[in-house]
Amino acid sequence: MAPRHVVTMSTSQAARGVCVLGTEVVLDTRRSTPRGAASFDVHATPAVTVHVIHSPTTKPTTDSRWPLDPDMEVVVTIDVTSRTVDDNQVRRCSCAQTGENKRNFLGNLRISE
């Protein structure tokens, strides 16, 4: 297993972290979730790989949103060395209860190798 460290994402400012090639960054998905959120999605720049580790019964919805599950982990790895500081990013957004089209920006992680 690759070495890991945890990064807490903030709704007020971008979190910053260093992800060394061959290591994993675990995003803390519990502390920054707004009340009423039912699901989330994750997007990253091309050099970043995002793994959503979940139970076999948890599946993404048809629009690639993941239901909030306390046993779920979001793990980030970087595939190449950064060209500049903060050139690789991960963005996570939460979505309100089913039937509502409200989205809240949950956080942005800027990572460098």
CATH number for 68: 2.60.40.1860
pLDDT at position 109 is: 57
Give the tens place of pLDDT for each residue, 43-87: 888 888 888 888 888 888 777 788 888 788 888 888 888 787 777
Integer CA distances (angstroms), 76 to 36, 47, 58, 62, 104, in order = 25, 10, 19, 22, 21
CB contact at 8 A, 12 and 34: no
CB contact at 8 A, 19 and 111: yes
Predicted TM-score of the model (pTM): 0.73
Give the tens place of pLDDT for each residue, 79-100: 888 787 777 777 777 666 655 5
Q: Is 64 helix (H, G, I), strand (E, B) or coil?
A: coil
What total number of domains does the chain contain? 1
Would you say residue 2 has pLDDT above 80? no
Structural domain including 11 reads 4-112
